[in-house]
A and B are shown apart, each in its own frame.
Chain A
């Protein structure tokens, strides 16, 4: 009998991302030869120096960046394995709605909408009744120490830490099957960081797979089941020297 947790939900092979900047006529490497897996109920930490392309890997998985090379196999809830690097835009939108979550470094949300509605949005998009979605959102905001007086206000004026908690709550509320986390605790106080660790542990127990970038090595120790250390990508200009370099 195979243990379900031995089958990866995410299997990234040979992933590379380069940006072609037309105005500068340059090819900028962002990450290269990334191989990693994520399993249900486990957290895979991406570590490495600044510029190693950690955030790029998450953005490629989520299709915010188009991967240049490699495959990103994802096992859907229905058991089918799809390559996130190649599925249609419609399929990607559907997966984002139902199975993938992404907590980015900064809160991007519809302006002018109160925090509890921002957090509840993923549930509303899935068709949950507004009152139920708001109740869950407020519960999560409470757990993440967002003061109740802020719940009905738009997050635009919140402090960095408060915004980040709203951002986290929105990413966590829909309990995605695969959760991508990009420095979710970077501007949180110790107390709230503790709450986040506790929440993420509950997520692991519930079987959620996570790929995370943490600025704090302690969080890696506390939460990671696997660590993938990325090296900065090989500079392409070294392998293909520019004409000037050849002359000198």
Chain B
């Protein structure tokens, strides 16, 4: 089976890049700020592949560059360099060579994103159902009744009461907002879903239900996912393989049980040893 996504050498540098940026940053220099020019190396030479239906975990603490990776793949940010090939049926898309319209099309039709902060993923000025309808409209579903029915189905699937679909998600609890985001992301049945710290900051019982929902979706729809988190429990539960990032670099990767039981790098050993 061919990978659905192949990322090579993904690099994102904020600032006026200089030739020392990559050489003088990273775990061995204990910084991601270039001492020569002050640029921030958010991600450097990140490479990985993702199989259809697979869940890949990206683990690391804040500032490790893990969110940068998914944000560039979702076109929220442009990479400084690198390539990413998205295989969709028999079509290969080189993500970073596409024009704006093509990128928007993929984003609206073939990718889904769930952000840690629901503000980024949802429009609080319109209803929960409206948020989903927006995405359905972009997918050429135009009949009002059809849209409403489909939005209702999606909210039901993600355990949001349909009776509340006409309310603004602003009035929802954090867990419900995440479920609306998931419903919205799934509206087009995308083959690829990005989840950026989706359970961070939620109560444990709410986290559990969101994680259960994500696993159920993966079982039902075979959606490939990249799960970005600093939470080892989330990684253990969801991901079959895991990348560990620090200062913008992938310092270790492997099968998730191997990363957690036999971590090779000092940093990963420290992370695993710090779990409660």
Q: Contact residues of A with B, CB < 8 Å?
A: 19-23, 59, 63-66, 89-90, 92-93, 110-112, 124
Contacts and interface: CB of A to CB of B under 8 A. Distances in A.
A102 to B, nearest CB: 10
B258 A111 contact: no
Q: Chain B contact residues: over half helix, strand or loop, or mixed?
A: helix
Closest 3 CB pairs of A and B: A22-B266, A65-B262, A64-B257
Nearest to B208: A112
A89 B240 CA distance: 9
Nearest to B254: A89
B258 A63 contact: yes
Given A23-B266, A93-B241, A110 B215 contact: yes
Interface of B: 51, 208, 212, 215, 219, 237, 240-241, 253-255, 257-258, 261-262, 264-266, 269-270, 273
Nearest to A130: B219
A65 B269 contact: no
A23 B273 contact: yes
Given A93-B240, A110-B237, 11 more contacts: A19-B262, A23-B266, A23-B273, A63-B258, A65-B261, A66-B258, A66-B262, A89-B241, A89-B253, A90-B51, A93-B255
Contacts of A19: 262
Contacts of B269: 21-23
A226 to B, nearest CB: 27
Contact of A66 (B212, B240, B264, B273): B264
15 contacts: A22-B269, A23-B269, A23-B273, A59-B261, A63-B258, A64-B262, A65-B262, A66-B258, A66-B264, A89-B254, A93-B255, A110-B237, A111-B237, A112-B208, A124-B219
A89 B256 CA distance: 10
Contacts of A92: 255
Contacts of B219: 124
Nearest to B51: A90
Contacts of A21: 269
Nearest to B269: A22
B263 to A, nearest CB: 9
A92 B265 CA distance: 21
A106 B265 CA distance: 26
A98 B268 CA distance: 30
Contacts of A112: 208, 212
Given A22-B269, A23-B269, A66 B51 contact: no
